[in-house]
């Protein structure tokens, strides 16, 4: 079995961290949700930076930290990666999250469980009204628009394979 390098968390001044100027992700819409998450749970996922303090992964977290007014943020230095690996990792890290889906039945149970535990709803984190599942909240393109893009939108009915619930989705 292969061993992995131990991660070292370093704290860097927010103003010293440089956003990657060719970041292809459109993340401005997500900043308010990441900001809410940081305010509610703390800064739990470090920003990955290269040796020049340029962001490899974590642009949205950096923007949220700036909006909150944090002076320092936790970072992991990707000093073990070549420049080519860093370029690839920037893309891969974001892409793999798009490839996972949701089990809407379990999601519904988890959301109701949080509400029952007094946590409230999850609207501050991008879950629609935070109390009921709206599939449109799970099918957004890079511009934050629901559907597959283009000017024309149409509504289709989608049936959840897990719970059988039907949703009308605009694509």
Residue listed under structure tokens 């939108």: 153
Q: Which two tokens stand for residue 21?
A: 């100027």
Lookup: tokens for 165 = 């619930």
Distance CA(169)–CA(161), nearest Å, equals 15
DSSP, collapsed to helix, strand or coil, labels residue 56 as: strand
Q: Where are the domains of the chain?
A: 9-98, 104-170
pTM of the model: 0.74
CATH 3.60.21.10 fits 9-98, yes or no: no
Q: What is the pLDDT of residues 100-153, one digit of tens each?
A: 888 888 888 887 777 777 776 677 787 776 556 665 666 554 444 443 334 455
């Amino acid at each position: 079995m292969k061993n992995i390098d131990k991660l070292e968390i370093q704290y860097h001044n927010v103003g010293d961290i440089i956003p990657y100027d060719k970041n292809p992700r459109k993340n401005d819409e997500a900043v308010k949700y990441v900001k809410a998450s940081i305010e509610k749970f703390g800064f739990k996922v470090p920003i990955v930076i290269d040796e020049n303090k340029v962001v490899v992964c974590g642009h949205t977290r950096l923007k949220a930290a700036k909006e909150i007014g944090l002076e320092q943020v936790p970072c992991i230095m990707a000093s073990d990666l070549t420049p080519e690996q860093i370029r690839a990792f920037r893309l891969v890290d974001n892409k793999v999250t798009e490839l996972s889906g949701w089990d809407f039945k379990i999601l519904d149970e988890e959301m109701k469980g949080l509400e029952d535990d007094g946590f409230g709803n999850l609207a501050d984190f991008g879950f629609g009204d935070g109390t009921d599942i709206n599939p449109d909240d799970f099918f957004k393109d890079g511009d934050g628009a629901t559907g597959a893009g283009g000017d024309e939108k149409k509504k289709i009915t989608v049936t959840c394979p897990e719970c059988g619930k039907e949703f009308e989705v605009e694509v």
